[in-house]
Amino acid sequence: MAFPFVFHLFSTILWSRRYKHKEIKSSCNHDYKAGLSYYGDKAKPKAFAARFASPDRSEVLSVVIRPSNQLKINFLEAKDITDLGTLKEAAKIFVPGGANLYTARTIKVKEDESLRTYYFYEFGVDAQHVALVAAVNSGKAYIAGAAAPQTKWEDDGIKLRSAAISLSII
- Tell me the DSSP string of 16-43: EEEETTEEEEPPPPP-TTTT--TT-PPP
CATH number belonging to the domain at 46-165, selected among 3.10.20.30, 3.40.50.1220, 3.40.1000.10, 3.30.9.10: 3.40.1000.10
CA distances from 120 to 36, 57, 74, 146, 166 (A): 45, 23, 22, 12, 11
pLDDT > 90? residue 146 = yes
Please tell me whether the overall predicted TM-score, pTM, comes out greater than 0.85 for this model: no
Q: Which residues of 132-156 are buried (b: 16+ CB within 10 A; e: fewer)?
A: bbbbbbeebbbbbbbbbeeebbeeb
pLDDT digits (tens, 9 = 90+) for 87-127: 999 999 999 999 999 999 999 999 888 899 999 999 999 99
Q: Hey, where are the domains in the chain?
A: 46-165
Q: What is the pLDDT of residues 35-65, one digit of tens each?
A: 444 555 555 666 788 899 999 999 999 999 9
- 12 burial via Cβ count (<10 Å: 0-12, 13-18, 19+): exposed
- pLDDT at residue number 15: 33
